[in-house]
Structure 1
C-alpha cells in the first residue's frame, strides 16, 4: 500500500504547458543504435546503457523516467533500495505516495526519489561542500565532510533527504563495507542521506536497484539511462528518451521551481483506477 500523503502539484496543468517548458528534453545528443543495447540486455541481463562515443568520451547525463500508469504502489522499489543500501529502518530513499487529491477514478501512485537536480538547492546551501555534483550530474553526499547542519534538508523542495538522529544499527555485512559517497555504508549518526541513483551499481554497468526490482515485479514502470545517448531502459525494453516523453506526455515534478530535475514522469492513464 502506498503512503497516502502526497506532495503538492504532482502533475502539470496541461500537456501544452509541459511541451513549452520542457521542450521534450531539448537538444540531446544523437542516440546510439537501439539494437546494440538490446543485444547487451539479451546477453547480460539488467545492464545500464553502454556509452557510444566513437573513440571520444563525454560526461554522462543520467536520467530517470517513471511511468505513473504502470506503477501499482507495490513499493518493491522502496524495499529493494533499503536492502541494497542497508537503509535505516525509519528511512525511505524512494517513497511511493498515493495521490488522493483527485476523485477515486483518477487515483494513481507517485514514487519520489531524489530528483538529482541540475540546479540543486541542496548543493548551493551546504556550507562545507559535503553535498556536490559528480561529473555525471548525480548529487552525492560525502559523509566524511557532512556536519549535520541539515541546511540541505530545509532547501530541498522534494523532501527526499533523511537525517540520522541516532547511530544506525549495522548488519554484519555492512560493517565490512569500505565507505564511499557512491555507496554511503556504513551509515553514520549526525549525517544526511538520500538516493544517489545507485551510483555504485551504475558504475559497474548495472541498473539502479529500484529499476531492477520494478522490472522483476513485472511492472517496468521505472526507466533509466543516459540523456546524452537519448536512450533509457526499464529492463524490458530500450527506448529513445525523447520518444518516451512525447508519447507519455512527460513532465518534471515542480519544474516551475527552476531546479531542473533529472527525473521525469509520464502522466497516469484513465485505466489506473483503483478499487
Structure 2
C-alpha cells in the first residue's frame, strides 16, 4: 500500500495535474468526453480542466507527458511560463519529521545542516502550540541574490532560487541577508560529519545547481531548492511525497493549481478559504511559500520523535 501511494503522489504531472498545469486537454474537449460517457471496462483517469472542474476521461485520450527539459533548457533560466509555489498546511503537521529525513537523504545533508526544519511555535501563552515546517521561501524579490558578489545564488524565471556551489566563495553575505534564516554553511565535507558515515560512489557525476547528484562542497552555502531534479521528471519534491499527513502542496501559480499528490486544489481558492498567508510579508520579499493557519487541526499536538535519525546512508546509484 505504501509503494502504491508513493507512486501516485510522485507522478503528479502525469495524473492529477495534466490538464491543470500543462493544459494538455482543452476544457471544452474534456466536457465533451465526459458527456459521452465511457464503457465500464475502459480505463479512466481523473483530470482537472482549466476552469477547475474535476472529471474522469479515457486514459488513452490523455497524452503522456515527457520530461520537462528540452534542448533550449538552461539551468540559470529555468522553465518559461511557470511559477512554482508551495503551500504548507499547519493544521496537518505533527512533526513526524519524514520530510526532513527524506530531504536529507536526497541531498546528502547531515545533522544541523538540514535544509528543512520544523519549529515548535506558540503565538501567545493563551494559545496552543503548533509545528511549523520552515524552508527556503524562494522569494520573488530575494535579498540573498542582490548581495552575492559572485553571482553564485540566482533566481530563475520559474521562481526557483538556486545556488551554484562551484561559484560560491563562502562569504555568507546571502545568509546575513536572508530574513528567514533558512541557509546553512558547510563547515566540513559531508563524509566527515559527526552524526553519520556516508557511502558515496558518485565519481561519474558533476555538480549542477538543479541536480542533487553530489554532496555540496565544504566552504559553500546550502538551502532548500524545491527539488528541481524531481520537477524535471514531472515528480513532486521529496518533502511532499514523504509527508504521511499531506502537509505540503506543490504546484504552479500561473496554472493556479497545487497538489500533495492525493488532493488537488486551486491555489487562489485554497488560500482564500483557509486564510493563507506568507511569513514576514512586510519585508517585501514576496515569498513563494504560503502557510495555512493551524485551525481545525487534523492531528493533536505532541512533541516530536526523540529517536529521529538526521541522515540515512546513501547507496550507490544505478
Give the TM-score normalised by the residue count of structure 2. Answer: 0.67
1:274 counterpart = 2:285 = no
1:179 counterpart = 2:168 = no
Measure how far apart 1:270 and its partner are.
4.9
1:69/1:86 CA distance change after superposition, 3 Å: same
Measure how far apart 1:146 and its partner are.
0.4
Which structure has the greater CA radius of gyration?
2
- Determine if contact 1:62/1:225 at 8 Å carries over to the other structure: yes
Distance 1:174 1:255 in 2: 41
1:69 counterpart = 2:91 = yes
Measure how far apart 1:104 and its partner are.
7.0
Distance 2:114 2:250 in 1: 20
Q: Structure 2 unaligned runs (5+)?
A: 1-19, 31-45, 49-53, 60-64, 69-78, 192-197, 303-318
Higher normalized helix content (fraction of residues): 1
- Within 5 A, what are the aligned runs for 1:102-251? 102-103=124-125, 105-169=127-191, 170-184=198-212, 185-214=214-243, 217=244, 219-251=245-277
Cα deviation 1:234-271 (Å, max 9, x = unaligned)? 11111100111011100001111000000000011154
Match of 2:114 in 1: 92
1:83/1:31 CA distance change after superposition, 3 Å: closer
Of structures 1 and 2, the one scoring higher in RCO (CA 8 A, sep 6+) is: 1
Cα deviation 1:155-177 (Å, max 9, x = unaligned)? 00001001011122153245543
Cα deviation 1:97-146 (Å, max 9, x = unaligned)? 01134337521110001000010000000000000012311000011110
Q: Structure 1 unaligned runs (5+)?
A: 1-28, 52-56
Distance 2:157 2:110 in 1: 28
- Determine if contact 2:109/2:215 at 8 Å carries over to the other structure: no
